[in-house]
C-alpha cells in the first residue's frame, strides 16, 4: 500500500515536452510547473514554481538535440532540475530518460578514449537522482554503471505489435551488426520470423561499411531493427545490402530517431518501404518524408512510472506480451 502523504509529481525539461504531456495524459495527471531557460551565455537555469517538499518527482527528459538546444543542454538541464529538486527537499527523484545520450561510448575501443556512459551515470547520481527509468540503452550492461536502481524498458513489443497488425508474410528480422543480434532474435521470436545478421565495420565515427549478410534473405520481407538512427548512413547501407542479396520489401524500425545531418534525405531516397520510430526524441521539423511513421512509448513509460510509484513490480513490462 502506498504510504499516506506520498505524492507523485511529473516534470519535464524542454527536450521532449510532447512525449511528457502524453505520459501525463495516460496517468491522468498534469505536468508540474517548473521554469527552465538559458542565460545569454548558454548556462541553464531551473526553478520549481510549486512546492516539491516530500514529493516523489519523475523528471522526463530526452538527452538529445531538440529545436532550441543541443544534447549537452538537455543533459545539463536534467542535472540541474535534479539538483534543484533535492535542494527543495523532494522525497525521491526519478530520471525518466527517454533517450540516454552519450550511451554509445560504453567501452574503450581504443587507447585514451573516455567511457561517457559511465561519466553520465556518475553525474546523475551526484546530482541527486535516486532511480533511472530508460528505454533501449545502446548496451544493456550500461545499467551496471549506476549505483542506483535502473529500470531498463524495451520498445521491441511495441514494434512487434505494429508489424503483427500489418500481417506481413515470409518475415525475416535483420540485425544491422553482431551487437544488436540478441535484440533482433527477441523481435524475431515475437513475430515468429527468421533471423539474419549483417557484418558491419566502422572505419570512423558515423561511417559504416556492410561487408556481408549472414542468413537467407532472398525473397523475404525484411525488418531491419536498430536502437538508434543518427546520420542514417549505416541503416540505409543495410537496406542496399539486403536488396543486393535479393530481399523483398524492407522495413526499418528503431527506438531513437536522432536523424542528424542529412539523415532525412538518405531515408527518403533509400528503398525501404517504411521507417518506424518511437517518440523518445522529437522528429526534426524539417524531416518531411512520408516513409517515417511514429509509434508512442507513452503508455509503456506511464505504466513504469505508476508501478515504481506504487511500489509494484516493473518486470512485467519487460514481458514480450505487454504490448500485444
Active-site residue set: 200
Q: What is the torsional sign of CA 175, 164, 306, 8?
A: positive
3-state class of 236 per DSSP? helix
DSSP labels, 24-48 = HHHHT--B--EEEEE-TTS-EEEEE
3-state secondary structure 104-173: CCCCCCCCCCCCHHHHHHHHHHHHCCCEEEEECCCCHHHHHHCCCCEEEECCHHHHHHHHHHHCCCCEEE
Q: Helices 17-27 & 298-309, crossing angle to 10 degrees?
A: 60
**247, three cell numbers:** 530481399
**73, three cell numbers:** 543542454
Per DSSP, the chain holds a count of helices (H) and strands (E) of: 8, 14
Terminal C-alpha separation, the chain: 29
Distance CA 300, CA 77 (A): 24
Q: What is the torsional sign of CA 49, 50, 53, 55?
A: negative
Q: What are the C-alpha distances in Å from 179 to residues 120, 198, 199, 207? A: 22, 10, 10, 16
Distance CA 194, CA 79 (A): 43
Amino acid at each position: 500500500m502506498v504510504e499516506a502523504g506520498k505524492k507523485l509529481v511529473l516534470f519535464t525539461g524542454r527536450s521532449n515536452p510532447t512525449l511528457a504531456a502524453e505520459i501525463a495524459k495516460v496517468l491522468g495527471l498534469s505536468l508540474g510547473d517548473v521554469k527552465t531557460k538559458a542565460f545569454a551565455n548558454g548556462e541553464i537555469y531551473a526553478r520549481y514554481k510549486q512546492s516539491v517538499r516530500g514529493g516523489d518527482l519523475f523528471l522526463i527528459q530526452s538527452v538529445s538535440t531538440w529545436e532550441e538546444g543541443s544534447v549537452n543542454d538537455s543533459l545539463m538541464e536534467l542535472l540541474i532540475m535534479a539538483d534543484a529538486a533535492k535542494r527543495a527537499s523532494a522525497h525521491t527523484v526519478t530520471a525518466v530518460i527517454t533517450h540516454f545520450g552519450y550511451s554509445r561510448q560504453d567501452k574503450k575501443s581504443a587507447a585514451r578514449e573516455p567511457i561517457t556512459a559511465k561519466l553520465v551515470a556518475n553525474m546523475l547520481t551526484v546530482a541527486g537522482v535516486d532511480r533511472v527509468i530508460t528505454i533501449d540503452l545502446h548496451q544493456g550492461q550500461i545499467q551496471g554503471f549506476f549505483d542506483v536502481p535502473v529500470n531498463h524498458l524495451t520498445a521491441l513489443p511495441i514494434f512487434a505489435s505494429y508489424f503483427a497488425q500489418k500481417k506481413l508474410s515470409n518475415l525475416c528480422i535483420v540485425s544491422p551488426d553482431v551487437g544488436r543480434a540478441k535484440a533482433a532474435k527477441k523481435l524475431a521470436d515475437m513475430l515468429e520470423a527468421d533471423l539474419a545478421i549483417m557484418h558491419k565495420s566502422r572505419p570512423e565515427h558515423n561511417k559504416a561499411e556492410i561487408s556481408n549478410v549472414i542468413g537467407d534473405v532472398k525473397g523475404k520481407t525484411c525488418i531491419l531493427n536498430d536502437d538508434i538512427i543518427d546520420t542514417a548512413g549505416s541503416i540505409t547501407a543495410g537496406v542496399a545490402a539486403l536488396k543486393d542479396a535479393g530481399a523483398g520489401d524492407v522495413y526499418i524500425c528503431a527506438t531513437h530517431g536522432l536523424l542528424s545531418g542529412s539523415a532525412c534525405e538518405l531515408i527518403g531516397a533509400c528503398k525501404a518501404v517504411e521507417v518506424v520510430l518511437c517518440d523518445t526524441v522529437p522528429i526534426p521539423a524539417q524531416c518531411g518524408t512520408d516513409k517515417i511513421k511514429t509509434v508512442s512509448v507513452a503508455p509503456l513509460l506511464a505504466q513504469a512510472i505508476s508501478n515504481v510509484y506504487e511500489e509494484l513490480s516493473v518486470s512485467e513490462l519487460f514481458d514480450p506480451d505487454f504490448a500485444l
